[in-house]
C-alpha cells in the first residue's frame, strides 16, 4: 500500500461527477465514482435553510407555553420583528449548511478504478493500489474494503457512494466484488491485554481506542494507527465504540 498526495489529486478525481468513464474496460479505461460536489453542497444548504426556518417556528410556539425548555432563548429570538426573524433564520441556516456541505465534500470518498490500478481519495490524500494486488473488493456495512490476494486488508474507508455503481465499476474492470466480508466471523473483540496479538499491537489498539473517543478531532490519528496495525499484520474493524481484530 502506498500513500501519496501528488500523483492523483482528490480534486482531479471529482471533476467528472458521480460516475464517469475514460474509455472502456476493454481498452484499459478508467471509471471515476464520487459524490457530485454541487449537489451535495446544495442539499446541505437546503437542509440548513429548512432547519433555520423550523427553529423560528418552534421559538414562536415555545413562548406561548407556561413552561418549556429554552423558553428564555426563544423569547429573545422572537423579540426580532418579522419578516427579519424568518429571513434571518433561513439565511443563517443556509450559511451553516454551506459550511457543512463544503466539509462533507472534503471528507467524502472518491474512487478511481481501472484494471491496472485502484485509487481511493479522501480529504487531501490518496491511496493507490496495483490491480494485481487486490484479491477482493468488499462492502462491509457503510465501509468500502479492499482485500489483498492473501486476505490481508489493504484499505477500509467510510463510503456514502452508490454501492450499485461501485460494484458495477469494479466488476467491469475485472475485480472480484462481495456484498459482505467473507472474513467477518474471524474477527475477535479486542479487550486490553488480551493474548494472541503480536508485540506492540495491544499498545496501538489502546491508543486508537483513546483517539476514537475524541471523535473527529483525532480521526486522522485513528487512521494512522490502523495503518500501523496493518504493518503488524492486524486487521481492525470498528463497530460502534468497539474494536474487533483478526490476523490473516
pLDDT for 73: 78
Asked if the model's pLDDT at residue 176 lies above 70, the reply is: yes
Asked if the model's pLDDT at residue 16 lies above 90, the reply is: no
- On average, the pLDDT of the chain sits at 81
CA contacts within 13 A on the Cβ side of 19? 11
pTM: 0.67
| Sole residue written with cell 466539509 | 103
pLDDT band (50, 70, 90) for residue 33: confident
| Sole residue written with cell 490476523 | 247
* DSSP β-bridge partners for residue 239: 242
CATH number of the 2-35+108-178 domain? 2.30.29
What stretches of the chain show up as alpha helix (H) in DSSP?
10-13, 37-62, 71-78, 84-107, 163-172, 201-213, 219-231
One-character DSSP codes across 36-69: -HHHHHHHHHHHHHHHHHHHHHHHHHHTTSSS-T
Domain limits of the chain? 2-35+108-178, 37-105, 184-246
Amino acid at each position: 500500500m502506498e500513500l501519496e498526495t501528488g500523483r492523483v489529486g482528490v480534486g482531479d478525481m471529482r471533476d467528472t461527477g458521480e460516475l464517469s468513464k475514460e474509455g472502456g474496460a476493454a481498452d484499459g479505461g478508467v471509471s471515476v465514482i464520487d459524490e457530485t460536489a454541487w449537489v451535495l453542497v446544495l442539499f446541505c444548504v437546503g437542509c440548513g435553510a429548512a432547519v433555520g426556518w423550523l427553529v423560528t417556528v418552534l421559538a414562536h410556539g415555545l413562548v406561548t407555553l407556561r413552561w418549556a425548555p429554552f423558553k428564555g432563548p426563544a423569547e429573545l429570538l422572537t423579540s426580532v420583528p418579522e419578516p427579519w426573524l424568518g429571513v434571518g433564520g433561513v439565511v443563517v441556516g443556509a450559511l451553516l449548511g454551506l459550511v457543512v456541505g463544503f466539509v462533507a465534500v472534503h471528507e467524502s470518498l472518491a474512487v478511481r478504478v481501472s484494471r491496472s490500478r485502484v485509487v481511493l481519495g479522501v480529504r487531501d490524500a490518496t491511496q493507490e493500489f496495483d490491480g494485481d494486488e487486490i484479491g477482493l473488493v468488499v462492502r462491509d456495512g457503510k465501509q468500502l474494503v479492499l482485500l489483498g490476494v492473501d486476505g490481508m486488508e489493504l484499505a477500509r474507508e467510510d463510503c456514502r457512494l452508490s454501492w450499485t455503481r461501485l460494484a458495477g465499476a469494479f466488476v467491469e474492470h475485472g475485480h472480484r466484488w462481495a456484498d459482505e466480508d467473507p472474513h467477518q466471523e474471524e474477527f475477535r473483540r479486542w479487550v486490553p491485554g488480551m493474548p494472541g496479538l503480536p508485540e506492540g499491537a495491544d499498545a496501538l489498539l489502546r491508543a486508537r481506542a483513546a483517539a476514537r473517543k475524541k471523535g473527529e478531532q483525532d480521526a486522522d490519528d485513528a487512521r494512522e494507527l490502523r495503518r500501523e496495525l496493518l504493518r503488524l499484520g492486524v486487521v481492525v474493524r470498528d463497530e460502534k465504540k468497539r474494536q474487533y481484530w483478526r490476523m490473516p
